Amino acid sequence: MTWMTGVAAGYVDFLDQLQAALCDRGHASGLFYQGTGNGTLTGPTGASGGYVGGTASVAETFTITAIDANTFSVVGSLAGDIGQATVGVPFASTRINFRINGGATAFVAGDQFKLSTTPRWTLARRQGTGAAGRFSNGFANSTRLWDGLVGTTAEFASRAAALPANAGISMIGAADVRRVSITTTNNQLFAPAGFRVEYSDNGSSWTEAIAYANVEWTSTEARSFAVPDVGLHLHWRVVFTASVNGGAAGIVEVQELRFYRGVVGDMQLQQRAEAVLAAPGNDGLDAIYIGIELYEDAAAAARSFNFYQFRSFDPLVAVRSQANNSGLTNVPLSSNNFTWWAAVNGRRIAGVAKIGAVYVPFYQGLGKPYELPSVHPYPAINAGTSSNEAGVATSTDPNFRGFSHPGRYGLRARYPDNVWRPHSNRFLSGSSETGDSATPGKVYPAATTNGGRESDFREALDGSRVLYEIVLTSIDPRHMWGELDGCYFTPGFNLVPEQNITMARFDHMVFQNCFRNAAADFFAIRQD
Amino acid sequence: MSYQTGNALDVNDLLDRFRLFLLANGWAVNFWGDRAGGQGKALQVNKGGNFYSIFSNTFLDSANSNQPGPYMEVMLHSSYLTPGSATQPDGTRLLRSTRYTSPMQAYHFFAGDGPNGSYAYMVVETDPGTYRHLGIGVLHKIGAYAGGAFCYALSWYQATGTVNSPDASQHGVPFDDNGIPTTSINYPIGGTVIRADYGGISPRYHYLDTGTTANPRGRGGWRNTNAERGTIALPVSAGASILTGRAPLIPLWCAVERGSLLWSDIGYPPGMRFVRMDNMEPGQEYPLGTDTWVVFPVTRKNGSAGMPSSGVYGYAFRKEL
């Protein structure tokens, strides 16, 4: 579906919904019409911009031509003739889905829509867990198992005073644990002499993968134990059954417990939850990687997507360690229900999550560069709302801003020299928010100068709305990067979020920049 | 024909050649002849209900050595009444382009039709490498309003220390608001005036200059980054890539004051763009899709000390053949 909307039951459900929307079927965009009738082409339910691909969509263009006032032929450039669409009736296929709606002026033979499709996005990775997915039974101070801290004093240890005790992870996606690492304390008597590694797909029925007995340790030792290949599973745990000093009646102390994916590499599944999506490009031949780390800090009510992008994807490496990645941009979300909107094609997703009354924008994927593809072959943009991985939507930080008018540093763009550069229009100087003159990357026209002077424009003289391309610029190195795809700056005078601006036969939904609603703080996303 | 190049003997000859060019492009001539009350010729034309007067002026004005003649001058008015005169119904002030030394090296005329009206621009190479600009037309309008007609002229202040300072406010630069207003110096200089009616005032003219009490102000350009100045300063500062060499052509957005420190975009001139000339030479052609644009400096590219210099500021004009 090109223009999508939904209600997510928390940030993990948002990931589920995005994954389904992106990866379960292809997408359609680039609607064009020429003809006499003034009807519309919409999604199957009549939603503006809701036309959608299917499970078998490929990169091709459909020509939808009126045979008479009520009937259209549907011909794909690769699929050929796939049937006829009737006005007012949803057209369904595995390649493309839409509905043509009659207007006040009837269609005549020869009236023609064109619509392009792209294949489904693919899920390259979904695994790991955050704080909410790490569990233990029988361990005191169990957060010490996962904190990455090792020492020789008691405050680094987590103790199970009675055995058996267990600790493990419930992940956002199934993965194969092939190694478990245990770090003991300097009290060798409390080291685990016996334990077993178990897995589960429902979190309640567990199966043993391997058991270890009579294990001997030195003081404060970190040791990996192999796990056989038992497939991909959502839940994994280590059940401690005996200690060195007391056997099954003893006490076990552990400093760190780690679950590694695969037999090589350093990908620790207990560290964080992450996913990697790959967009196919509008030609279906690309792999545009978008990495998402899920961040959670329940005490701070922080639940976020932290986006990364990278040109190539190493399956043995965590998202944040991928080569030449963009660095993170944060999109604060919620554990409660929230509404979201997104426009998708084969190259990018641009959307907004509404957390309470705050509109949190994001743009992930390729933009529209001013250079030729031979000069700027991978024009990627990673845009969230800041570079603080623990961001919250209730923030009033000057840097908490979206792509139309970003702060430090919620927008990073990849330049022709393969360098990711941040863009910032505003920041906090002293006690007041002001234009960011120190960052060479700027976003026009929300900023009109290198010093980040804010746009002070309102609507046209006749009251009609104006949509401006959102242009990325840099003065060091000097370069005009190009534009965001399907996103527009619009002056915010007399404008409210979720209002539609109809222009060039498209609806454009208006949003404000996070919590801000001054003239320079509005943008619109084309529903196409 | 919508592009023409050639040589002119002097400002009178230049204006005569521009007259023939306008006639060939469908403009109607209300008057062509001696200027009333001045030294030079008058060409008064209209198209699409928009009226313009263009004058040559052979007065050298030796008393004003920093804005010397000969001149080309232009104004906008709502209808035509008096032959050869700069006094016309609802006429704007004269905009003056300075120092058209003879013999001129070359002229380049461009004409075409924008979505809201026709335009005609002249670029004149007065001395080798030094250029002047003058034009008339109708903006590619944003929103529906009465007006959109504009005219512009380039004047360049010749004083030492200013002549090679591209951002100096003494220069009257088309579609840039950093020039001082004619009203503060009591003689015509260059700049831009645009008609955009609203608020019950008709006609309502907007001068793009540093004046604060105009009717009300117009805004555009790149040379001033202060509050409520300029519209394209940011893309101009980034506009010629040192990574790739490419310099995008930037529309010359214009705006008018609406009160409460807010402005409304009214459009941009068709067939004319700003371009940074870091990597280009005067007269160079710039292919863009199926179009060809031709690039000229605002006055002179990176002139040496004591010479006119507009730095890397330039205009690109769409060349239709």
In A38-176, DSSP assigns E strands to 40-42, 52-53, 60-66, 71-76, 80-86, 90-91, 96-101, 112-118, 122-127, 134-137, 139-140, 158-160, 165-175
State how far residue B279 is from chain A, nearest Cα, in angstroms.
13
Q: What is the pLDDT of residues A469-525, one digit of tens each?
A: 999 999 999 999 999 999 999 999 889 999 999 998 899 999 999 999 998 999 999
A73-92 residues touching B, CB cutoff 8 A: none
Q: What is the pLDDT of residues A36-94, one digit of tens each?
A: 999 999 999 999 999 999 999 999 999 999 999 999 999 999 999 999 999 999 999 99
pLDDT-derived band at A355 (thresholds 50, 70, 90) equals very high
Q: What is the pLDDT of residues A260-289, one digit of tens each?
A: 998 988 899 999 999 999 999 989 999 999
* Alpha helices, DSSP H, located in B25-169: none
Residue entry with tokens 């192999």:
A226
pLDDT score recorded for residue B303:
77
Chain A residues lying within 8 Å of B286, measured CB to CB: none
Chain B residues lying within 8 Å of A451, measured CB to CB: 225
B143, B240, B246 member nearest A464 (Cβ): B143
Chain B residues lying within 8 Å of A460, measured CB to CB: 142-145, 264-266
Interface contact flag, A457 B142, Cβ < 8 Å: no
Residue of A nearest to B288 (CA): A370
pLDDT score recorded for residue B213:
66
Q: What is the pLDDT of residues A277-332, one digit of tens each?
A: 999 998 999 999 999 999 999 899 999 999 999 999 999 999 999 999 999 999 99
State how far residue B31 is from chain A, nearest Cα, in angstroms.
34
pLDDT score recorded for residue B187:
81
CA–CA separation, A524 and B247 (whole Å)? 27
Chunked mean pLDDT (size 10), chain B, 321 residues: 92 98 98 94 98 95 85 97 96 95 95 97 96 98 97 96 95 96 80 96 94 80 94 96 95 94 96 97 92 97 89 96 69
What sign does the dihedral A16-A18-A20-A23 (CA atoms) show? Answer: negative
B234, B238, B262 member nearest A519 (Cβ): B262
- Rounded to the nearest integer, the mean pLDDT of chain A is 96
pLDDT score recorded for residue B183:
73
CA distances A365 to A279, A287, A291, A383, A484, Å, are: 8, 10, 11, 9, 10
ipTM reported for the complex, 2 dp: 0.94
Chain B residues lying within 8 Å of A419, measured CB to CB: none
For chain A, how big is the Rg over CA atoms in Å? 27
B14 token code pair: 């230049």
Mutation site, A425, A449, A465, interface B, largest B CB count within 10 A: A449
Q: What residue spans define the domains of chain A?
A: 25-119, 129-268, 274-526
Pairing outcome for strands A233-243 and A192-200: antiparallel
Q: What is the pLDDT of residues A448-462, one digit of tens each?
A: 999 999 999 999 999
pTM of the predicted model as reported, rounded to 2 decimal places: 0.95
pLDDT score recorded for residue B215:
64
**Domain A129-268, CATH number (from 3.40.190.10, 3.30.565.10, 1.20.120.420, 2.60.120.260):** 2.60.120.260
Q: Which amino acid is at A141?
A: N
B142, B145, B242 member nearest A466 (Cβ): B142
